[in-house]
Amino acid sequence: FTVYRRPTTRKKRYVYYIQFRDEDGNRMTAVSSGKTTRAEAERWAYNKLKDGYVPSFKEPKFKVYAQNWFIWDRCDYLLRKRNRGDYSRSYAEQQRGYLENHILPHFGDTKLCSITITEIVNWNIKLKNQYSAVTANRALTVLKIMLKEAKRCRLISYNPGEDVEKLPETSKEKGILTLLEFHNLFNPQKFEHVWNRSLFHYTLNALASVTGLRLGEIQAIRWFCINKNFIEIDHSWDRKYGLKEPKAKSFRFVSIPSVIFDCLCMLKDLDRFADPNIFVFHGDDLFRPIDHKVISKRLYHALGCIGILDCERRSRNLTFHSWRHFLNTNLRTLAADADLQKITGHRTVAMTEHYDHETEQFLARVQPHQENLLGIRKDSLLALSV
């Protein structure tokens, strides 16, 4: 065999590669020893030969290895992850997209064992320059998953991706409304002017503002989830695949102010269908929630009616997801962090799925803060009657 070194991303540091020979004396594709000194690399190579290790001459190219990756019913890695409930189908498709659009064009014809740290770093920087740091980092994450799995399966002896760090990102911070803007938006006396008398969109956005629910979680709410003091969050809505588990399995009970419950009751009275499995915020199809684009469009129109025009909204980065940041900002000084996490679902361990005494106490602690934040008197709800 032949020993030679390749540079790493660290200054003046090298990794030694071994090039074995086949039975005819031909040099084979080099494999990384993972060692940083020649002596250790030679010892590693001798031990491999002693143990009967003979590297295959037909080492696969990356595109062969990647053939079934992130395909829902064919990827072994996904099948293993799905058994633990770690992946959604939409997320798998996103990763497959990064693989096809950004990884395979560069590494497809490279042998799996020949990918180097330097090559990965240069590719990652090139992606950043062509697109953005966010795109480059997401593609890098996909590549690192694949290389880690290749090492686990002993297709490579050294993972060149494990020492490659993500690039710094400069993401634009989500904006939130001021409390004055917030109260102008939901003032019942301005219901007709701001919301065009749409109790549907008024209630949907008011609910989001005092619960911090994700858009998909609100879309997934059905009438049987609604209770007088809380909403049960048991699903989220996937735009392509429909109902799925909420993000990070954050099944939870979310407290709602009494005025929000009253608005929901008024909305239900307007809905002529009594099936509890119907989506609360449905579109023309009763068993499918209203489209996310319609929700955003109606919110932006309402913002324009209180003086926040499109140019200002974009510069302030105000979106539907801003309601989540709004709640987190305005309740943080009032509610305990543990209670706030139970509302928003910002946690890794899911809350118990059973309504118990502890849940009841939690709801009682949070509801007054939500009522005060919304600041709507029950007698003013008459202005919302349609």
Cα separation values, 90 from 87, 148, 163, 313, Å: 8, 22, 28, 29
Q: Which amino acid is at 150?
A: A
Q: What is the pLDDT of residue 335?
A: 54
CA–CA distance, 161 with 170 (Å, rounded to integer): 23
Residues of the chain with pLDDT under 50: 57, 346-357
Structure-token pair, residue 9: 């991303």
CA–CA distance, 11 with 20 (Å, rounded to integer): 28
41-81, pLDDT tens digit by residue?
888 888 887 777 655 545 678 998 999 999 998 898 998 88
For residue 83, give the 3-state DSSP assignment.
helix
Q: What is the pLDDT of residue 196?
A: 94
Q: What is the pLDDT of residue 336?
A: 53
Largest Cα–Cα distance of the chain, in whole Å?
Answer: 92
Cα separation values, 372 from 265, 330, 376, 380, Å: 21, 11, 8, 15
Cα separation values, 323 from 10, 37, 312, 319, 347, Å: 43, 55, 17, 8, 18
CA–CA distance, 210 with 87 (Å, rounded to integer): 29
**Is 104 buried (19+), middle (13-18) or exposed (0-12) by CB count in 10 A?**
middle
* Contact between 29 and 111 (Cβ < 8 Å): yes
pTM score, whole prediction: 0.70
Where do we find the tokens 């006396």?
189
Q: What is the pLDDT of residue 333?
A: 60
For residue 222, give the 3-state DSSP assignment.
strand
Q: What is the pLDDT of residue 359?
A: 58
* Contact between 108 and 125 (Cβ < 8 Å): no
Return the bridge partners of 289, or none.
282
Where do we find the tokens 């189908």?
89
For residue 148, give the 3-state DSSP assignment.
helix
Return the bridge partners of 4, or none.
17
Return the bridge partners of 230, or none.
255
Q: What is the pLDDT of residue 132?
A: 93
CA–CA distance, 386 with 380 (Å, rounded to integer): 14
Q: What is the pLDDT of residue 24?
A: 59
159-181, pLDDT tens digit by residue?
999 999 999 988 777 889 999 99
Q: What is the pLDDT of residue 345?
A: 56
For residue 19, give the 3-state DSSP assignment.
strand
- The H or E element spanning position 318 is none
**Is 132 buried (19+), middle (13-18) or exposed (0-12) by CB count in 10 A?**
middle
**Is 33 buried (19+), middle (13-18) or exposed (0-12) by CB count in 10 A?**
buried
Angle at 17 between CA 16 and CA 20, to 5 degrees: 140
By DSSP bridging, strand 14-19 and strand 31-35 are: antiparallel
Q: What is the pLDDT of residue 367?
A: 78
Q: What is the pLDDT of residue 341?
A: 58
